[in-house]
Structure 1
Amino acid sequence: MWVTGEVIERKDWNDKLFSLKIKADVEPYIAGQFIKLSQIRDDKRIARAYSIVNPPGNDFVEVLAVAVEEGQLSPDLQSLNPGDKIEVTAKATGFMTLDEIPHGELQGQHLWLLATGTAVGPFIAMLLTDEPWQRFNKVVLVYGVRLAADLAYLDTIKQLSLKYPEQFIFVPIVTREDFAGALTCRIPEAITSGLLEQKVGIALSEEDSQVMICGNPGMISDAQNALLELGLTKNLRRTPGQITVEKYW
């Protein structure tokens, strides 16, 4: 079911990357889930899925998007301003949530969140809830982009570092230019080479790690294979493991 939402804020991170806050009557959701936004054009509904960036408990939803020139919807979304209307699905969905992570002895001590581009959105939502901090001793966010200007929500990430200085570890990866403190290789290569573990200071292991991966299909496939080589296994409801993935397109 679609409901009409109203844009209450737009933030431009660069000339293509932007966030929208949309006030809408959306049903309660779980951090990490996504909604769809749509417009009617030539009597046809054009809809795309976007992860919710803000945690549950607000009267709005926030999404992070990139305007693709040939995209059917994203250029129009980028042109929206406060007061403009947009259709929103009333119910969020998706399984990239902490509910899917094993509890108890199978949980492990460390939560690794691996994201590229706008796929950092669901992880920001999770990190703004209490659950990861209550369940895990260490929480690692690995955020890969091409250029430093593509890093969104750095202020939010900095606030999390200040709030959870003993638990939170942030690893930016910027592949096409230098950025202070960032790695420069792709996430899968950082895993395979051991550079990521060295940077973080803890090991990726079957015993202690839960890894959630969200981003472009190539990164997900390669990162998952690298983790499998380390002895981690896919996390499925019928066979709990350590690797949880969601393809972002």
Structure 2
Amino acid sequence: MSVLRSELECRLDHHTVVLLGARHSWDLGYRGELIAMQRFCRTFHYAPIISRPDEEHVPWAGQTGYVQDLWDRGLVAEAIGYDPTTDNTQILLCGNPGMIEGMITRLEKDGFGEGDAGSPGQIHAEKFW
């Protein structure tokens, strides 16, 4: 959240998309703040997804599955109005190492890479629990 709070740019030529996955809706951290950012900045897009909708106390009307599913469903392209490519997109993955590895594997199919000493790549990751 600190990166979003300090670096969010609401320019028409700069989109920020947050795909946030959790098991349950009550595990979606900073949900209220992310919804407020989306209302404030029309180039900021927040897409929550939960993997266990059957365990919700109140029926969940949002996306279900995993973060990788949002990418596969074209949600990012729909939100920003164009296809994300290696020329126009940088990706920051934060969270569960399994999700990060799954997303990297998926993104590599579209030509995105983590980079190395000679090239910064388009995928940047921070693994934590």
Distance across 1 between alignment mates of 2:86 and 2:14: 16
Query: Greater share of helix residues, 1 or 2?
Result: 2
Aligned ranges 1:69-148 → 2 under 5 Å: 124-129=1-6, 131-133=7-9, 137-148=14-25
How far off is 1:209 after superposition?
Answer: 0.6
CA contact (8 A) 2:17 2:76 kept: no
Aligned with residue 186 of structure 1, among 66, 69, 73 = 66
How far off is 1:244 after superposition?
Answer: 0.3
Structure 2 SS opposite 1:209: coil
Aligned with residue 44 of structure 2, among 168, 178, 190 = 168
Distance across 2 between alignment mates of 1:215 and 1:230: 21
Question: Does residue 1:152 correspond to 2:32, yes or no?
Answer: no
Moved over 6 A (4+): none
How far off is 1:144 after superposition?
Answer: 0.2
Map of 2:127 onto structure 1 = 247
Map of 2:83 onto structure 1 = 203
Distance across 1 between alignment mates of 2:90 and 2:77: 17
CA contact (8 A) 1:214 1:220 kept: yes
Distance across 2 between alignment mates of 1:167 and 1:237: 31
Query: Greater share of strand residues, 1 or 2?
Result: 1
Aligned length: 122
How far off is 1:134 after superposition?
Answer: 6.5
- CA 1:167–1:205 in structure 2 vs 1: closer, same or farther (change >3 Å)? same
Distance across 2 between alignment mates of 1:134 and 1:161: 10
How far off is 1:211 after superposition?
Answer: 0.3
Map of 2:101 onto structure 1 = 221
How far off is 1:173 after superposition?
Answer: 0.5
Structure 1 SS opposite 2:90: strand
CA contact (8 A) 1:204 1:230 kept: no
How far off is 1:242 after superposition?
Answer: 0.5
CA-atom RMSD in angstroms: 2.2
Q: TM-score, normalised by structure 1?
A: 0.44
CA contact (8 A) 1:214 1:245 kept: yes
Structure 2 runs not aligned, ≥5 long: 54-58
Distance across 2 between alignment mates of 1:174 and 1:199: 20
Structure 1 runs not aligned, ≥5 long: 1-123
How far off is 1:199 after superposition?
Answer: 4.9
Identical amino acids, percent of aligned pairs: 28
How far off is 1:169 after superposition?
Answer: 0.4
How far off is 1:221 after superposition?
Answer: 0.7
Structure 2 SS opposite 1:133: coil
